[in-house]
Chains A and B, each alone.
Chain A
Amino acid sequence: MAITVTATSSLFNFNCSRSPPPSLSCRPILSSLHHHHLRLSARKFGFSTTLPYEKPFISKPSVCSSSPGKSQPMVPPYNILITGSTKGIGYALAKEFLKAGDNVLICSRSAERVESALQTLRTECGVQHVWGTKCDVRDGNDVKNLVKYAQENLQYIDIWINNAGSNAYSYKPLAEASDEDLIEVVTTNTLGLMICCREAMKMMLNQARGGHIFNIDGAGSDGRPTPRFAAYGATKRSVVHLTKSLQAELRMQEVSNVVVHNLSPGMVTTDLLMSGANTKQAKFFINVLAEPADEVAKYLVPNIRSIPMSGSTRPTYIRFLNGLKAYSQIFTRLAFGARRNRYLVED
């Protein structure tokens, strides 16, 4: 397999060397991209033999914030928007951002849940730094209203976290899944996320400070199979892919101050996960790998905040549960029996 890949890429390189002098538009890409984009640019050049003018049809966004003099550095406190943030990991993230002194806008499908979450957050964190509104991410108008609400109350958003996701709280083979569940999963996770990304990008391109968008991944986003929640896995895989494509689009448009990232909370002991804990295998992995939402948020929030702080504009993939950690936890469990019956009683 590896051989075929290299063969293809070397072919592309070959094409590249034979191509007429790279058009001006490509030069900045070459100079700005170092090793990790080299393969990609090589491919690009490979096709630029037949496609010398790649540029003209990529329209620049109407308002480009990279114009000189306009851009501002991002300074704390940050304005944070988190979708689907009345419970679970979204709520924990909101709380953690508030503790760090940021302004947070929460939203969810149900106005009641938003209201109660607002109240608890206000009592817990004391000061008035939190806003909230009802927003169904699947509805384009709702998301537009959310943006309007954010602009009215917070003027700008630095960090937009697309957290709203659903598994319809059902874990069964696809053949047994109901219509409503399947449609809800796909529309919330994929359609909702796409609409949110689009609106967030639109908003941030108009902001002098730019912005960062974080898309939360989930089981299946690495392409591994997710039996019993196939639809969820497919949507999460598409999330990661969307992030990738958007990064490529922004690079094409030479936008540097709006960045799309991935955020991986790993396994979090929220309702979404726990509703599937009915097999032996699932219980084992939940006990070994899952963490409560607060723990995860405590790790993720400083990592998220460090990105605007350092002024970095490189896309990142922040992972709470990386491979090494996962394997070491599985190892300690198998070797020493650590974390047995941590959340759920295994038989």
Chain B
Amino acid sequence: MATVAKFHIVPANFHHRTTQSPLSQLGFCRSSVSWDSIPPFSRRRVFVQPCKSFRTEDRKNGGAKDNKSTKKIANSDKNLRKNLLGAIKSFIFSKDNSVEKLEENLSKIALHFGRYIVTMMSTGVILLIGFNLSGGDGQMNDLIWYSWVGGIIIGTMIGSNMVLDEVSRAGPRNVVITGSTRGLGKALAREFLLSGDRVVIASRSEESVDMTIKELEENLQEGVASAASSCRKKLANAKVVGTSCDVCDPNDVRNLANFAVNELGSIDIWINNAGTNKGFRPLLEFTDQDIQQIVSTNLVGSILCTREAMHVMSNQHKAGHIFNMDGAGSGGSSTPLTAVYGSTKCGLRQLQSSLFKESKKSKVGVHTASPGMVLTDLLLSGSTIQNKQMFNIICELPETVARTLVPRMRVVKGSGKAINYLTPPRILLALVTAWVRRGRWFDDKGRALYAAEADRLRNWAESRTRFSFTDAMEMYTENTWVSVFSLSIVCAFIILSSTTGNAAPGT
């Protein structure tokens, strides 16, 4: 088992190389937060209102497209128009509504004002340093002024790009997740749902699909009930539907794709999450059926689903993204005791690179998502006490992983991206805190210490609101420092080049 863990770690390093540049990642985090629950005090843009209208417009379009399919959507369409009008009204006559609204708006304005003051002050500090360095040389002062203006322009462009991106791509996504009645798939579905998306779940058994739909709908109700008013608007469009689908059966997969198109109109994100592993033991002890099931679910299923998703996405108006789930072995290191599972996952990684080449000119993006090690049945079935001791260190609950993956999946752009949970900083943290983490999930005897799913979710809902505040603070500083950083780089560059330029003729 020790070796199995290793695979999760080393490949993760590799993945990291292919993720987006840190800058854009910051952007992602940022939008994720604004999109999650927005506490009244974290609203930090004047664009919030226009953004709302954008969103509603998007919904309206979406609704218009689906008109024929369901009455429900038509109803929501009407609601949305009302919302749209309301939003515009509140924007113009914000005093009309209530004191609460006014307060909200004021605090928003104050927040933005404060933000710009902080940004300008920090640029001013750099400007002063620049003047000090220049030593009163008029020519140099001009240069510094130019660089300051340049920095402001660059910073504004970066910031506005991020904002525009967020606005234009806001709105509910249509998501299909295979194998989503258990484990990570369910957690992903829930997270998408609570982000206001429309989710199609699929699994082999019809009963478990029905049960999961009911459960997720309850979660959604709770989410709506506990959310702030602004979030409620966001969640209005969220819905979950599902059908039974055996991913190894081409007809089933086709039905799933048709079902999703009929229900949602288009598919934005398709996640091939269905995967199976039949315990940890040498290949010799696997039966024919075991091997066949693993290969057909992991490899055949992913290939068929990817192809079907590509069909749908290339015929639709909007671009789409397909995610294949990584697992142990994706990075190419050996996976003894899970040889079959590992080699299918390794094959999938190669498939991903081929598909990336094939789909270069199309609007379909193929990506991988790596959840690292998640405490699900797949991992725990047939694991020993020793394994579980090791899981304490590196494993995470599915909800934790989903919370990290989903916001990044929602805003993914282009093709060939890798979205990983176990990034090097997280691995490092896990190793450093290994001692503390000893009894995190399992005790010495291998008994599970973590709460059952329902309890976990209850705690989760509470921590959601708490978390977003800290996240929002982080985002805020990031946003500021992007412009400050770009400015200081320009400053430093010009100062350095001009000093050396002046010094050269003197000596």
Binding site for B on A (CB under 8 A): 1, 4-5, 7-8, 11, 15, 40, 43-44, 46-51, 53-54, 57-59, 61, 140-141, 173-175, 177, 179, 182-183, 186-187, 190-191, 194-195, 197-198, 201-202, 205, 220, 223-231, 233-242, 244-249, 251-253
Contacts and interface: CB of A to CB of B under 8 A. Distances in A.
Contact of B303 (A47, A48, A186, A252): A186
A50 B314 contact: no
Contact of A5 (B13, B303, B338, B340): B13
Given A49-B434, A225-B353, A237-B351, 13 more contacts: A4-B13, A50-B389, A177-B307, A187-B300, A190-B344, A194-B295, A226-B350, A235-B347, A238-B350, A245-B329, A245-B334, A246-B339, A251-B336
Interface string B289-323: 00110011001100110110011001000000000
27 contacts: A1-B17, A5-B13, A15-B431, A44-B2, A44-B3, A54-B386, A58-B282, A58-B337, A174-B307, A174-B310, A175-B359, A182-B304, A182-B307, A190-B344, A191-B292, A224-B353, A225-B353, A227-B357, A233-B351, A233-B354, A237-B346, A238-B299, A241-B329, A242-B339, A242-B342, A245-B336, A252-B337
A249 B390 contact: no
Contacts of A201: 283-284
B26 interface: no
A228 B358 contact: yes
A234 B302 CA distance: 11
Interface stretch (B4-12, B208-216, B267-275, B473-481): B4-12
Contact of B291 (A186, A194, A230, A252): A194
B16 to A, nearest CB: 7
Contact of B346 (A53, A61, A182, A238): A238
Contacts of B78: none
Contacts of A247: 334
Contact of A54 (B2, B295, B311, B349): B2
A223 B300 contact: no
Contacts of A46: 2
Nearest to A11: B431
Contacts of B236: none
Contacts, number: 215
Contacts of B392: 50
B5 A179 contact: no
Contact of A140 (B288, B296, B329, B355): B288
Contacts of A141: 288
A140 B346 CA distance: 23
B75 to A, nearest CB: 36
Contacts of B277: none
B288 A195 contact: yes
B22 to A, nearest CB: 14
B295 A227 contact: no
Nearest to B434: A50
A229 B353 CA distance: 12
* A-B pairs, 4 with minimum CB distance: A238-B347, A140-B288, A47-B2, A237-B350
B343 interface: yes
Interface string B351-367: 10111111100000000
A47 B5 contact: yes
B113 interface: no
A61 B351 contact: no
Contacts of B161: none
Interface of B: 1-3, 5-6, 9-10, 13-14, 16-17, 250, 280-288, 291-292, 295-296, 299-300, 303-304, 306-307, 310-311, 314, 329, 332-340, 342-344, 346-351, 353-359, 384, 386-387, 389-390, 392-393, 424, 427-428, 431, 434, 438
A188 to B, nearest CB: 11
A175 B291 contact: no
Contacts of B390: 47, 50-51
Contacts of A48: 2
A226 B300 CA distance: 17
Contacts of B335: 241, 245, 248
A317 B424 CA distance: 32
Nearest to B311: A175
A183 B292 CA distance: 12
Nearest to A220: B350
Which residue, B5, B291, B349, has most C-beta atoms of chain A within 10 A?
A: B291
B303 A182 contact: yes
Given A186-B295, A248-B336, A198 B283 contact: yes
Nearest to B292: A191
A230 B16 CA distance: 24
Nearest to B347: A238
A77 B335 CA distance: 35
A49 B437 CA distance: 14
Given A57-B384, A190-B347, A220-B354, A231 B303 contact: yes
Contact of A175 (B336, B343, B358, B386): B358
